[in-house]
C-alpha cells in the first residue's frame, strides 16, 4: 500500500502551517511561530503561527458572515448530511496520513492514532443522521384557538478550544455535532498539536463545506484562546481542557453571557470487587491506566480494590504493567506512547516523588524510559495510598496508578465519590446487584461495568462536579449547540383586551 510507505519515517524537514480563515490559507508572515518537537522521536516536525487577537477578530467575522449568508445554516439537513458523509469518506481515504501526523505531534502509538481516525469518521457519519432528523416538539393541546411548537435553531458562531491529548478525536466529538444544525465555528487547537485540525480544513473544503463555516486560528491559550472566550460576537464556547483553564474560560465567556460547554479533568476510580473476574479486571486496569500514556481525561487513575483480594490483584496488575510494549511509536506493535512535553514529564515524576513523601510505595515504574529519541514514563503503581493524599486527589495525567483498598461496598463508593471530579468510573464485579447499585451510586458522567474507556458516537459524554458542564456526543451533543424557541400561534380572530 503506497500510503504506508509514504508515512513510515519521521520527515527530514519541518512542516510549516499557516492558518485558515474564510476558506483560504493565511501565511504566518511576520507573526511569531512555534516549532513542535515530536515527543516520541525528539525531532522537530511542525511549526504553527502564533496568531493574534486581530486574527481572532477576522476569523469570528468570517464565521459570522457565513452564518448570516445562510450558506450552511440555510440549506436542508439532507444537504448538510451529504457533506458530513463526504467528510467521513475523505477521512477514511486519508486516514494513514492523518494518523501519521497525529502520532508525530502527540507521541501516541500509531495503532492508537489509526483507531482514533477511524472512530472520528464514525462521528461525522452519525451526525449526518441527526442533521436530517433534528426536530422540536408540537403542542396540539392548547385548545381550538392556539397551536404551539418548539423549534431548535443553530446557536450561531461557536468558539471551539481543544486540548493536546486527543486533537483529532476531540475535534470529531464536537465539530460534526456543531455543524449538524448549521453553526459556524472558529477552532483553536492546542499550540502543541495543531497539525490535524489544520489539515482538516482542506478535507472539509473538498467535501463541500462552504467558506467561512470552519476557521482555524493557532497559537497560545492566553492570547488566542482567551480572545475567543471573551469575544462578544461568539455565541457559544465549547472548551475541552483542564479544570483550571475551564474556570478562566467560563469567566471570560461572561462578557456576553455565551452558552458554554466545558469538558474538564478527572480522577477516575476503578472499583474492583473481590468477586470480579480478576484477570479481566487487571487487564482493564492496565489499559485504563496506559491508554494515551495516562494523558487521558477518563484515565482510570485510582484503583479502589477490595481488601480481601488486594494482594492477588496487585500481582496481576504488576504482571500486566510489566508486559506493556514501549517503543517506536510508528511501530504498530507499540502500546505505550510518549509524554507530551518536558514540563508534563517533570510534573508526573514530581507526583511520584510526592506520593512517596506522603507515605505511598512505588511498586513499579516511576522512571523515564529512553526509546527512539523520545520521552516516555514506565507504567507506575503506587500502593498504600489513602484517598486524602494529593496523589489520589489531583489529576496527574500520566501512567501513574494509585491503589487504595476498601472493605465494604459502601466504603468503595464513598472513596470513589470523595473527589472534586466526576468524569468517569469503572466497576468490576460479576454480581449484577452490586454492579447496578455501584453504577447508580457513583458520581460520574461516564460509567463502565466490567470494561473501561468504551464509547462511540451514540452516547453522550461529560462530567459531574468540576469535570464539566454540558454533554458532547449523541443526540444531546447536537442539541447542546442549538437554541430552543418556544412558539405560540393563535388561530382565528383575537379576543380583544381593549374593548
**Contact set with ligand NAD (CB under 6 A):** 161-166, 170, 188, 190-191, 220-222, 225-226, 229, 240-242, 245, 248-249, 263-266, 297, 395, 397, 423, 463, 468
Beta carbon nearer to ligand NAD, 7 or 397: 397
- Residue 177 · residue 472 · CB < 8 Å: yes
Q: Closest separation between CB of residue 9 and ligand NAD, Å?
A: 28
5 in helix, strand or coil?
helix
**305/280 Cα distance (integer angstroms):** 14
Q: Closest separation between CB of residue 395 and ligand NAD, Å?
A: 5
Beta carbon nearer to ligand NAD, 89 or 347: 347
What's the chain's length in residues? Answer: 499
Q: Closest separation between CB of residue 22 and ligand NAD, Å?
A: 22
**411/307 Cα distance (integer angstroms):** 11
Sheet holding 259-263, edge to edge: 24-26, 19-21, 214-216, 184-188, 157-161, 236-240, 259-263, 468-469
**185/60 Cα distance (integer angstroms):** 8
Beta carbon nearer to ligand NAD, 77 or 470: 470
Beta carbon nearer to ligand NAD, 295 or 405: 295
Unique residue bearing C-alpha cell 474538564: 264
Q: Which neighbouring-strand residues pair with 397?
A: none
**481/238 Cα distance (integer angstroms):** 9
List, by residue number, the catalytic residues: 263
**430/424 Cα distance (integer angstroms):** 20
Beta carbon nearer to ligand NAD, 7 or 448: 448
Q: Closest separation between CB of residue 460 and ligand NAD, Å?
A: 11
Q: Closest separation between CB of residue 39 and ligand NAD, Å?
A: 13
- Residue 167 · residue 105 · CB < 8 Å: yes
Beta carbon nearer to ligand NAD, 46 or 190: 190
Q: Closest separation between CB of residue 23 and ligand NAD, Å?
A: 23
Residue 195's contacts (CB-CB under 8 Å, 6 or more residues apart) are: 15, 17, 36, 46, 48, 101, 102, 104, 105, 167
**55/11 Cα distance (integer angstroms):** 30
Beta carbon nearer to ligand NAD, 197 or 372: 197
Angle 387-391-393 (CA atoms, 0-180°, nearest 5)?
55
Backbone φ and ψ for 304, nearest 5 degrees, come out as: -115, 105
Q: Closest separation between CB of residue 187 and ligand NAD, Å?
A: 10
**193/105 Cα distance (integer angstroms):** 6
Q: Which residue is nearest to ligand NAD (CB)?
A: 221
Beta carbon nearer to ligand NAD, 225 or 460: 225
**276/278 Cα distance (integer angstroms):** 5
Q: Closest separation between CB of residue 250 and ligand NAD, Å?
A: 10
**368/117 Cα distance (integer angstroms):** 28
| Number of neighbouring beta carbons within 10 Å of residue 192 | 20
Closest CA to 234 of 26, 25, 59, 476: 59
- Residue 216 · residue 202 · CB < 8 Å: no
Q: Closest separation between CB of residue 204 and ligand NAD, Å?
A: 20
Beta carbon nearer to ligand NAD, 240 or 429: 240
Distances (CA, A) of 6 to 10, 101, 372, 468, 486: 10, 12, 19, 40, 54
Closest CA to 198 of 344, 30, 37, 28: 28
**329/153 Cα distance (integer angstroms):** 43
Amino acid at each position: 500500500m503506497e500510503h504506508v510507505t509514504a508515512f513510515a519515517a519521521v520527515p527530514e524537514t519541518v512542516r510549516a502551517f499557516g492558518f485558515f480563515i474564510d476558506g483560504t490559507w493565511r501565511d504566518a508572515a511576520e507573526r511569531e511561530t512555534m516549532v513542535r518537537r515530536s515527543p516520541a522521536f525528539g525531532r522537530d516536525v511542525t511549526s504553527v503561527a502564533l496568531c493574534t487577537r486581530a486574527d481572532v477578530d477576522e476569523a469570528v467575522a468570517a464565521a459570522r458572515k457565513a452564518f448570516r449568508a445562510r450558506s450552511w445554516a440555510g440549506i436542508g439537513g439532507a444537504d448538510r448530511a451529504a457533506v458530513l458523509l463526504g467528510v467521513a469518506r475523505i477521512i477514511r481515504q486519508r486516514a494513514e496520513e492523518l494518523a501519521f501526523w497525529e502520532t508525530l505531534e502527540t507521541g501516541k502509538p500509531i495503532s492508537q492514532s489509526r483507531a482514533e481516525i477511524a472512530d472520528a469518521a464514525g462521528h461525522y457519519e452519525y451526525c449526518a443522521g441527526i442533521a436530517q432528523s433534528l426536530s422540536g416538539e408540537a403542542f396540539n393541546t392548547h385548545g381550538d384557538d392556539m397551536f404551539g411548537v418548539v423549534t431548535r435553531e443553530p446557536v450561531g458562531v461557536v468558539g471551539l478550544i481543544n486540548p493536546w491529548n486527543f486533537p483529532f478525536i476531540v475535534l470529531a466529538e464536537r465539530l460534526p455535532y456543531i455543524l449538524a444544525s448549521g453553526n459556524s465555528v472558529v477552532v483553536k487547537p492546542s499550540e502543541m498539536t495543531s497539525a490535524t485540525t489544520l489539515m482538516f480544513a482542506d478535507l472539509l473544503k473538498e467535501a463541500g463545506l462552504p467558506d467561512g463555516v470552519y476557521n482555524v486560528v493557532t497559537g497560545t491559550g492566553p492570547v488566542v484562546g482567551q480572545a475567543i472566550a471573551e469575544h462578544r460576537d461568539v455565541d457559544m464556547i465549547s472548551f475541552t481542557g483542564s479544570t483550571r483553564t475551564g474556570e478562566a474560560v467560563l469567566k471570560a465567556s461572561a462578557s456576553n453571557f455565551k452558552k458554554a460547554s466545558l469538558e474538564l479533568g478527572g480522577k477516575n476510580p476503578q472499583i474492583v470487587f473481590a468477586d470480579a473476574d480478576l484477570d479481566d479486571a487487571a487487564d482493564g486496569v492496565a489499559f485504563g491506566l496506559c491508554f494515551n500514556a495516562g494523558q487521558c481525561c477518563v484515565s482510570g487513575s485510582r484503583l479502589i480494590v477490595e481488601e480481601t483480594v488486594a494482594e492477588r490483584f496487585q500481582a496481576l496488575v504488576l504482571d500486566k504493567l510489566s508486559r506493556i510494549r514501549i517503543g517506536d511509536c510508528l511501530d504498530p506493535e507499540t502500546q505505550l506512547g510518549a509524554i507530551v512535553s518536558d514540563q508534563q514529564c517533570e510534573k508526573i515524576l514530581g507526583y511520584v516523588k510526592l506520593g512517596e513523601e506522603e507515605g505511598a510505595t512505588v511498586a513499579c515504574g516511576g522512571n523515564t524510559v529512553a526509546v527512539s529519541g523520545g520521552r516516555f514514563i514506565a507504567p507506575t503503581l503506587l500502593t498504600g495510598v489513602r484517598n486524602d493524599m494529593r496523589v489520589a486527589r489531583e489529576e496527574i495525567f500520566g501512567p501513574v496508578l494509585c491503589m487504595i483498598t476498601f472493605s465494604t461496598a459502601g466504603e468503595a463508593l464513598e472513596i470513589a465519590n470523595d473527589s472534586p471530579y466526576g468524569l468517569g468510573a469503572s466497576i468490576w464485579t460479576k454480581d449484577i446487584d452490586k454492579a447496578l447499585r455501584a453504577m447508580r451510586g457513583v458520581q460520574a458522567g461516564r460509567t463502565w461495568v466490567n470494561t473501561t474507556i468504551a464509547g462511540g458516537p451514540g452516547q453522550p459524554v461529560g462530567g459531574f462536579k468540576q469535570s464539566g458542564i454540558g454533554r458532547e456526543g449523541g443526540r444531546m451533543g447536537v442539541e447542546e449547540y442549538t437554541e430552543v424557541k418556544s412558539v405560540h400561534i393563535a388561530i382565528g380572530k383575537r379576543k380583544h383586551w381593549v374593548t
